[in-house]
């Protein structure tokens, strides 16, 4: 009688229960992993957009400084690269800790105004090194 009681009181998981849990974990991993990699790609593209936005901000700051110091609107990239630091455009520009290198070049006319082309390139050895290069034409205000 005591032996029957011992067999009934043993606790644990059956093989079917363990396999079903492993199958459920496998399904969850199959769904979650592609989403995780998509989020990584999207965050790298967002970092590139932020770098281009930073470049556009630098163009606007340099143009405003040029206008304040000379009283005339800038018309070329040379007007903005010859300013006193820290208001000048330096090309290529990659501050310490940055993942992107920005270059500035003369761009096409945008709405009848001259523009500066800002190009963002991922720096080798950073997580964004494989992000495609992108450019943005910023009208000189």
- Banded pLDDT at 23 (limits 50, 70, 90): very high
- Strands, E assignment, the chain: 100-110, 113-122, 134-139
Q: Which residues pair with 136 in a beta bridge?
A: 118
Of the spans 19-23, 43-47, 53-57, 135-139, which averages the highest pLDDT?
19-23
Rounded distance, CA 67 to CA 89, Å?
Answer: 14
What pLDDT is attached to residue 111? Answer: 77
Model confidence, pTM: 0.68
pLDDT per residue as tens digits for the range 39-67: 888 888 888 888 888 888 888 888 888 88
Rounded distance, CA 57 to CA 44, Å?
Answer: 20
DSSP H stretches of helix in 1-141: 2-9, 15-70, 77-81
Q: Do 117 and 90 touch, CB atoms closer than 8 A?
A: no
The tokens 């523009």 sit on which residue?
115
pLDDT over threshold 80, residue 28: yes
What pLDDT is attached to residue 37? Answer: 78
How distant, in Å, are the alpha carbons of 49, 94, 100, 131 from that of 124? 18, 12, 9, 10
pLDDT per residue as tens digits for the range 81-130: 877 777 777 878 887 777 888 888 887 877 778 888 888 888 888 888 88
């Amino acid at each position: 009688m005591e032996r029957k009681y011992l067999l009934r009181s043993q606790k644990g998981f059956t093989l079917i229960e363990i396999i079903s849990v492993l199958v459920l974990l496998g399904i969850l991993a199959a769904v979650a992993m592609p989403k995780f990699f998509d989020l990584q790609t999207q965050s790298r593209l967002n970092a590139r957009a932020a770098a281009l936005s930073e470049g556009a901000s630098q163009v606007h700051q340099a143009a405003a400084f040029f206008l304040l110091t000379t009283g005339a609107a800038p018309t070329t990239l040379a007007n903005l690269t010859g300013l006193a630091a820290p208001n000048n455009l330096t090309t290529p520009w990659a501050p310490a800790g940055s993942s992107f290198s920005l270059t500035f070049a003369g761009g096409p006319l945008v709405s009848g105004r001259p523009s500066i082309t800002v190009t963002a390139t991922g720096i080798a050895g950073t997580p964004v090194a494989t992000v495609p290069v992108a450019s943005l034409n910023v009208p000189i205000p």
